[in-house]
Amino acid sequence: MTLIELVITISVGAIVVAFMALFIVGPMNAYGAQTRRADLVDEADAALRYMARDLRAALPNSVRIATSGSVTALELLATVDGARYDDRDPVGTPSLGLDFTQADGAFATTVPFTQLALPWSSSSSYLVIYNVGVPGASAYEMANVITPAGTTIQVSAGAAANQQLVTLAPAFKFSWSSPGRRLYLVSGPVTYLCDSVAGTLRRYSGYAISNTQPTAAATLAAAGASAGTVAADVSSCAFSYAQGTATRNALATLNLQLARSGETVGLLHQVQLVNTP
């Protein structure tokens, strides 16, 4: 083989490899882009479903949304369980009825809590009756419709079917009765902070209820909140809440956009909330 033949062979081979690369690189790039988009869709969908789960378990009329700079904050009061209280002053056992005219430390349920292992006791949870989210009847004010922080709540089995005995120490006067006699057990507030500059969606819990909504990570950290990242690669987000009325269903709309390596996906999720207090 002469030098000229070797050079010609190498040149022809290089041309063939170049043409093959043209046919291979395109599909490989497309596969990589499709994989990134699928990952982003999966991440966004998981984040929105996580938020939807918390929203569906939120105390009626407790969802609120605020924006501060690049941060969009969504806060709610998370419920653990619900029941229906007895306010009829049963004959022979008037202590089983919840008294709304004075502080009452013991009453019974007609529809029981179902998520509690009895006997149950807590001094970090709250009982809420008739939260309609307006001044004077807002659980965030920590008055009138919600037991004070540190109240010891105990739930034990009653003598009748579906009956449970609830005790409060100290006793508390609820200002208004619920038309449906609904009673909610609340674990505390939950906040989602979406920061388009930091590119994160984070969930915060384990802090005290406040009438002022926190919209900064530093504020929540100072309040002792624990945090976890729900989604990264966040480029923008938009949360809205259409309450309708304080006794009807509400609609939360969550719009989340993620971006990575030149690929961008946006998902919109709507969650219907039962706001009957």
Angle at 173 between CA 169 and CA 176, to 5 degrees: 140
Compute the chain's Rg from CA coordinates. Answer: 28
Q: What percent of the chain clears pLDDT 70, i.e. is strictly above it?
A: 91
Alpha carbons 47 and 192: distance in angstroms, whole number: 11
Q: Scanning the structure block, which residue is given the tokens 């699928």?
A: 38
Confidence of residue 90 (pLDDT cuts 50, 70, 90): low
CA 250 to chain centre: 15
pLDDT tens for residues 6-39?
Answer: 777 788 777 877 777 666 666 666 656 677 778 8
Sign of the dihedral through C-alpha 138, 143, 149, 151: negative
Whether residue 57 has pLDDT greater than 60:
yes
Q: What's the pLDDT score for residue 28? A: 63
Residues 6+ apart with CB under 8 A from 172: 103, 104, 105, 127, 147, 148, 151
Alpha carbons 117 and 83: distance in angstroms, whole number? 14
User: At a CB cut-off of 8 Å and minimum separation 6, what does 273 contact?
Assistant: 55, 56, 58, 60, 63, 249, 250, 251, 252
DSSP state of 49: H
Average pLDDT over residues 227-240: 94
Residue 269 has a pLDDT of 93
